[in-house]
Amino acid sequence: MKKVAVVDDDEDMRHMMAHVLREHFEVETAEDGEAGLALARRWKPDLVVLDLLMPKMHGFEVCRNIRGDGALKTTKVLISSSKSYTHDVKTAVEESGADGYIVKPFRIADFQKRVAELLGGA
């Protein structure tokens, strides 16, 4: 079973995403950027869903750290944020090495589709 780490400082959002994903994936969660990076390094998930604006470490910084860790080179990263997909955010997503971006609030079906796309239809 593929593994997905959900990293979001909003407890309700974190629990909702984890609940939706647990139907098809093994899921672990973290409540801030530092804890999320530690989780990724320890657990080596197939996908990390990262909130953008979090305490302790910004989502883009977490993503850059994941990309810089050879043990996580195959880990996919999906940034989730309430910030709309402006040119600046799109550029920052690309520069961070993230594999995708989804705007909150999102429809559960759209979230599931993005995750499946990133994990090869898993």
Residue 94 has pLDDT above 70, yes or no: yes
Confidence label for 1 from pLDDT (cuts 50, 70 and 90): very high
Regarding predicted confidence, which is higher, 4 or 55? Answer: 4
Query: Residue 102 pairs with which residues in a beta bridge?
Result: 80
Q: Which residue has the higher pLDDT, 87 or 10?
A: 10
- pLDDT at res. 92: 76
Q: Token pair 């402006």 is at which residue?
A: 86
Q: What range does the domain containing 108 cover?
A: 3-118
CATH code of residue 81: 3.40.50.2300
In the chain, how many domains are there? 1
- Predicted confidence (pLDDT) per residue in 21-67, tens digit: 999 999 999 999 999 999 999 999 999 999 988 889 888 899 999 99
Q: What is the reported pTM?
A: 0.93
Contact 55, 9 (CB under 8 A): yes
Residue 1: exposed, middle, or buried by beta-carbon count in 10 A (0-12, 13-18, 19+)? exposed
Backbone angles phi, psi at 44, to 5 degrees: 50, 65
pLDDT computed for residue 83 by the predictor: 66
Give the chain's mean pLDDT. Answer: 91
116 has pLDDT over 60? yes
